[in-house]
Amino acid sequence: MDTNYWTLDRLGRLYKDWDPKVLTDLSAKVAQSKWRPGYHITTKTGLLNDPNGFSYFNGQWHLFNQAFPYGAVHGLKSWQHNVSDDLVHWRVVDKPMVPDIYSDRNGCYSGSAINVGDKLFIMYTGNTFEGSEFTRHPYQVGAWMDADNNIEKLAEPLIQDSPAGVTGHFRDPQIIKRDDYYYAFIGAQTVDNAGEILTYRSQQVDSGWELYKKLDLGTDNLGYMAECPNIGFVDGKVVVIFCPQGADKASFHYDNVHPNAYIIADELDFTDMKLVNPSPMQQLDEGFDYYATQLLNSPDGRLLSVGWIGLPDTEYLSDQDGWEGELSMVRELHIVSGRLIQSPVNELGNLIEDTEPAATDLQKRITASPFAGQYGLNLDSTDSYLHLSYDETDRQWTLERKNVGEAAVTRSFSGDPSSLEVYLDNSVFEIFINGGKVTMTGQFFHDGESIKVSANQMTIKQNKIKNM
């Protein structure tokens, strides 16, 4: 980040105070970028992070995301609003939710949405900083969205502050309804520097919220802060997804700066707010960039997920081009043998063509199956590559990435092979191994107009993928 340009004034400047020319100039810069995706949601300019408010409302899918339009940095956050009829063709609604009230003056942070009557109710964290020490004071704010996508914030925050014993790191409410109550699951940090997930509840969605209980996950290995908690129900089980920043690696393996984790349980006991028979904590994704995943139990019975292809506290090569970050494709989740199985939603078929893509075509699906022995899939550009290989002797998968101008980095895990699907969208990749038992997601900053695809010891099939 260019700290000369990104002064506190610019990082925190209200959107109405920016010169519109900044966006025009930035758009021109972004248009020159060779890494823009064609079928993944991103921002027109600037930075994208967490998915927010994933919902089905008024006959359409709604998916918001954290955005800062004025540069590829974590400046003052707003919610970009995306809508879709089929979960794969998304368009941006020109009515973002921006910080414009006292209780969200330093950012409309992450949150969720739930259908209530003929409206959509949004609950999110209003970030504010107080005093010369910039002490965080989080508010949990409510808003109603109508059928014309107009968002009206409530005058009074739903929750005025962190509860006793919790620092200013208290955010990312996910609302669900169970029997007579609405419950909000909120990520928190205790004054002893431990991560936890707290629940609040109310019988009315837009008032009366009270601290209920801490969610008992069956583990305390939540590091120093648990961001973005989400609960979903599928296949007769419950799954909790969250980001335990600083979780102890001795009992939970991860290589990224911050992990996205999940726990599966037989059920959630709402009386004690406790997971019944919880699994160990597991990694949601084995790739380089995947975080802040949000869940939706959709009205059609599916459990859907979407994550941020990016990480906090990380700079990316596309920053130089004035933009950063994408949302993943929407995935359908199932539980098999105590593990989450993730696959792209069936609707993705609407974008996949029968035709074989040219080497210069950067949007494609590569499918390989079955395997034998030691094998690999290589995506090569001039001074950059993405190599996925499997070694039968130690049952080890390795993904090696070399971005242009950077040293190679790897991620690996062990497991048996049976099928492989790779989705490439210019600089974005999502890999589904063994029908989605393992996924590897990330960004690949290549240096060419073309990426050569080759395989060792396996046959592959390629399909072109259309723009959304």
Binding flag, residue 50, ligand FRU (CB under 6 A): yes
* Rounded alpha-carbon distances, angstroms, from residue 243 to 37, 249, 258, 262, 308: 25, 14, 7, 9, 12
104 noted as active-site residue: no
Residue-wise burial string across 418-457, b where 16 or more C-beta atoms lie within 10 A, e elsewhere: eebbbbbbbbbbbbbbbbbbbbbbbbbbbbbeebebeeee
Smallest gap from Cβ 257 to ligand FRU, in A, equals: 11
Binding flag, residue 12, ligand FRU (CB under 6 A): no
Structure tokens at 172: 């990312």
Residues 83 to 122: which contact ligand FRU by CB under 6 A? 109-110
Shorter beta-carbon distance to ligand FRU: residue 172 or 425: 172
Q: Measure the CA–CA gap between 11 and 70, rounded to whole angstroms.
A: 9
Smallest gap from Cβ 308 to ligand FRU, in A, equals: 7
Under 8 Å between Cβ of 431 and 422: yes
* Rounded alpha-carbon distances, angstroms, from residue 421 to 73, 301, 385: 32, 25, 17
Determine the residue type at 244.
P
Shorter beta-carbon distance to ligand FRU: residue 78 or 439: 78
Give the one residue of 113, 159, 197, 227 binding ligand FRU; rule: CB under 6 A: 227
Binding flag, residue 448, ligand FRU (CB under 6 A): no
Binding flag, residue 196, ligand FRU (CB under 6 A): no
Give the one residue of 81, 153, 171, 402 binding ligand FRU; rule: CB under 6 A: 171
Smallest gap from Cβ 110 to ligand FRU, in A, equals: 3
Shorter beta-carbon distance to ligand FRU: residue 125 or 462: 125
Omega of the bond leading into 370 within 30 degrees of 0 (cis): yes
Shorter beta-carbon distance to ligand FRU: residue 8 or 250: 8
Binding flag, residue 140, ligand FRU (CB under 6 A): no
Under 8 Å between Cβ of 61 and 113: no
Please state whether 374 falls in left (phi above 0), alpha (psi between -120 and 50) or beta. beta
Residues 346 to 365: which contact ligand FRU by CB under 6 A? none
Under 8 Å between Cβ of 314 and 406: no
Shorter beta-carbon distance to ligand FRU: residue 258 or 364: 258
Q: Measure the CA–CA gap between 57 and 411, rounded to whole angstroms.
A: 38
Residues 299 to 318: which contact ligand FRU by CB under 6 A? 312
Shorter beta-carbon distance to ligand FRU: residue 110 or 426: 110
Size of the site for ligand FRU (CB under 6 A): 14
Binding flag, residue 415, ligand FRU (CB under 6 A): no
Q: Measure the CA–CA gap between 212 and 59, rounded to whole angstroms.
A: 33
Give the one residue of 158, 228, 231, 420 binding ligand FRU; rule: CB under 6 A: 228
Binding flag, residue 172, ligand FRU (CB under 6 A): yes
Give the one residue of 73, 292, 330, 468 binding ligand FRU; rule: CB under 6 A: 292
Give the 3-state secondary structure of residue 436.
Answer: helix
Smallest gap from Cβ 338 to ligand FRU, in A, equals: 27
Intra-chain end-to-end CA distance of the chain, in Å: 31
Binding flag, residue 49, ligand FRU (CB under 6 A): yes
Binding flag, residue 268, ligand FRU (CB under 6 A): no
- How many DSSP H helices and E strands does the chain contain? 2, 36
* Rounded alpha-carbon distances, angstroms, from residue 321 to 20, 135, 186, 325: 18, 32, 34, 12
Q: Measure the CA–CA gap between 142 and 158, rounded to whole angstroms.
A: 6
* Rounded alpha-carbon distances, angstroms, from residue 110 to 31, 138, 146, 389, 449: 28, 12, 20, 36, 36
Smallest gap from Cβ 362 to ligand FRU, in A, equals: 27
Using only C-alpha atoms, the chain has a radius of gyration, in whole angstroms, of 22
Shorter beta-carbon distance to ligand FRU: residue 171 or 387: 171
Smallest gap from Cβ 50 to ligand FRU, in A, equals: 5
Smallest gap from Cβ 243 to ligand FRU, in A, equals: 7
Binding flag, residue 285, ligand FRU (CB under 6 A): no
Determine the residue type at 413.
F
Smallest gap from Cβ 126 to ligand FRU, in A, equals: 10
Shorter beta-carbon distance to ligand FRU: residue 313 or 354: 313
- The number of angstroms, rounded, from the C-alpha of 140 to the middle of its chain's C-alpha atoms is 20
2, 17, 50, 391: the catalytic one is 50
Give the one residue of 125, 219, 439, 441 binding ligand FRU; rule: CB under 6 A: 125
Smallest gap from Cβ 127 to ligand FRU, in A, equals: 7
**What single DSSP character describes residue 100?**
-
Binding site for ligand FRU (CB under 6 A): 49-50, 66, 77, 109-110, 125, 171-172, 227-228, 291-292, 312
Catalytic residue numbers read 50
